[in-house]
Amino acid sequence: MMNDTRVFRRSDPDFPTTVALQRRLIANGRVEGEGPHRQHPIGLATRSRIDAASLQLPVPDGPAVPLGETDRGTLHLDLNRLLAGRCLIQGSSGAGKSATLRHLIEEAHDYLTVMIVDPEGEFGNLAEHIGAATIKACEIATDGLTAAAMRARHHRLPLHLDLTDLEPDVRITKAAAFFAGLLASPREDWAHTVLVAIDEAHLLAPHMAASARDAETRRLGVATLTDLAARGRKRGISPVIATQRLAKLAASVVSELHNVLLGLNIFDRDVARAADLLGFGTERAAVLRTLRPGEFYALGPALCPLPELVRIAPTVTRHVGATPELLASADVTPDEARSLLDLDALRELGRTTAAPMPGRSGVRALDGFLLDQHAAAAARVVASLRAITPNATTAADLARHLALEAEAVHGALDLLAVAGAVDTMPRGDDRIARLSARLRLRVSDTTVVGLA
């Protein structure tokens, strides 16, 4: 324990290097020549230079990008140290984590190859801004995504992996296949440094599985993302991971991220974990509940050695996922609303589609389906929808593709809807359909995305 009466000199070998502790010693008059009881006064100009040097944030020697402003100046992200330590961006919904990730990508893409993993489809315009090619994961099989990652790494191509229109377990599987391709790149490509920006990472490596059936898929996602963070440094891979809640993201992933940007937190469990990462005590942790959008506490070798509150700079591209402005409901009467909803047609649809198999189950339901006049057309419709899973198509396109009358296609879709085999709309010119979620889970890997 440090002597409470000792007076230090700045030349002492054990003089504290921590700025906060130095200030405390000076305020208590325990630094010779400084503070309220200084024995050897120094000039004001000299003291001003010392104070300015201690307050100013250091600027990295190597490649770095500005993140935003603090009370001590501009905070920079050291890209060399980021490669060694990775980064976590965390904040509740609306805290500005996706905008922070967007700003980081805009600033860093000139220094290394950027690959954006986008579960919500919010970064398409950013991909255009940095010249990244967009890959829709729903159009490519898992082994194709692995090959795409390896080829992009070899040729130093920026990519935008769009994971929308996928079921949760398929999304995890396909993201894991992409990460596996990055890790499997041959040694000669490790010099091709890449920043892997992952938004909503808790969707790809969740802390808990939704069900026993999803447990194996969760383990795959967690293991692959943890491996990417743990083994990425030697392979020239720097993951930057954004998530809404620390409680939702697997702890093994968080433990591999040495740099953190932590924003607004609401729930006790998240506040406690964020405060633990920052080294905040119980009283100081409450400040995490009061942060405004775009305000984050930064800490880590690539950022700053002590927690620093930074206001993230605005982005160049528009954030697609921003919270919409409030908009009141349409000014219509109840009669006009019923007309727009076309409730009479929906009631008629309920009566017509419920008729084919009333009160039947098991074998009787199957018999009713097979004997229906539209059963043959229904089988052909299912085969066509399976070929483009998970995408949807229109009834008109189905009729043209199958060379069937429109009425036959509508009858087949009505029959399949009753059986729970398709998701579809009421009859009409704009009717669309796709396989139900239950069947889409069984059919995931396909390269066809439209009917010829």
Residue-wise pLDDT tens digits, 37-93? 444 444 444 444 444 445 677 778 889 999 999 988 999 999 999 999 999 999 998
**Under 8 Å between Cβ of 255 and 58:** no
Average pLDDT on 325-333 reads 84
Of 156-165, 238-247, 300-309, 366-375, the least confident: 366-375
Average pLDDT on 200-223 reads 82
Q: How sure is the predictor about 3, in pLDDT bands with cuts at 50, 70 and 90?
A: low
Q: Identify the pLDDT of residue 21.
A: 72
* Nearest in space to 111 (alpha carbons), one of 150, 160, 61, 64: 64
Asked whether the predicted pLDDT for residue 311 surpasses 90, the reply is yes
Distance CA 35, CA 46 (A): 14
**Whole-model pTM?**
0.66
Q: How sure is the predictor about 344, in pLDDT bands with cuts at 50, 70 and 90?
A: confident
Asked whether the predicted pLDDT for residue 450 surpasses 80, the reply is no
Q: Identify the pLDDT of residue 52.
A: 42
Q: How far is CA 287 from CA 243, 281, 356, 407, in A?
A: 19, 11, 61, 63
3-state helix, strand, coil in the chain (%, to 5): 45, 15, 40
The count of other CB atoms within 10 Å of the CB of residue 340 is 10
Asked whether the predicted pLDDT for residue 210 surpasses 60, the reply is no
Q: How sure is the predictor about 418, in pLDDT bands with cuts at 50, 70 and 90?
A: confident
Q: Identify the pLDDT of residue 60.
A: 83
Asked whether the predicted pLDDT for residue 196 surpasses 80, the reply is yes
Q: How far is CA 203 from CA 164, 169, 217, 290, 442, in A?
A: 12, 9, 12, 26, 20
Of 13-17, 124-128, 289-293, the least confident: 13-17
Mean pLDDT, rounded, of the chain: 83
Asked whether the predicted pLDDT for residue 357 surpasses 70, the reply is no
Of 8-22, 45-59, 131-145, 414-428, the least confident: 45-59
Q: How far is CA 271 from CA 73, 242, 294, 319, in A?
A: 27, 16, 17, 26
For residues 450 and 121, the model is more confident at 121
Asked whether the predicted pLDDT for residue 35 surpasses 90, the reply is no
Q: Identify the pLDDT of residue 338.
A: 80
For the chain, what percent of residues have pLDDT higher than 90? 49
Query: Cβ contacts of residue 355 below 8 Å, gap of 6+?
Result: none
Distance CA 310, CA 305 (A): 14
